[in-house]
């Protein structure tokens, strides 16, 4: 188990144009719940800390809690948020992609 916990907060920013690049499958995916499950979102973030590509999605900040020695540390990381309907094609594609992050592949198999 990776020992990662996340929380998200939407930040100001508008959606990118439809011609933007798709979200890469190498990014980790996390489900962000909503009062109605169908209104939940999928946030994609890079555990390696690389800058996010210019892609479709709403910019968000995730608070990530990761193992650090014998304890844990939290930090905020940039993420791209997508509604479930927009994230579903990426997740399905990631299910069998060897370059996909394990969390993204797992959500694709769910």
User: What pLDDT, on the 0 to 100 scale, is given for residue 11?
Assistant: 40
Number of domains in the chain: 1
* pLDDT for res 66: 85
Expressed in angstroms, the distance from the first to the final Cα of the chain is 18
Q: Range of 19's domain?
A: 5-109
The partner residues of 43 in beta bridges, in order of sequence, read: 30, 81
* CA–CA distance, 96 with 109 (Å, rounded to integer): 9
pTM of the model: 0.76
What's the pLDDT at 20? 54
Give me the percent of the chain exceeding a pLDDT of 90: 55
Which phi and psi (to 5°) does residue 74 adopt?
-115, 150
Sheet with 28-32, edge to edge strand ranges: 5-10, 58-68, 71-83, 41-45, 28-32
């Amino acid at each position: 188990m990776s020992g990662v916990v996340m929380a998200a907060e939407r930040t100001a920013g508008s959606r990118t144009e439809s011609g933007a690049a798709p979200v890469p499958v190498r990014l980790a995916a996390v489900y962000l719940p909503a009062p109605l499950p169908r209104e939940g979102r999928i946030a994609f973030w890079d555990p390696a800390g690389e800058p996010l590509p210019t892609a479709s999605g709403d910019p968000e900040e995730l608070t990530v809690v990761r193992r650090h020695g014998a304890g844990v540390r939290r930090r905020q990381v940039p993420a791209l948020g997508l509604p479930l309907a927009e994230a579903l094609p990426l997740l399905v594609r990631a299910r069998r992609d060897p370059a996909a992050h394990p969390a993204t592949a797992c959500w694709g198999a769910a």
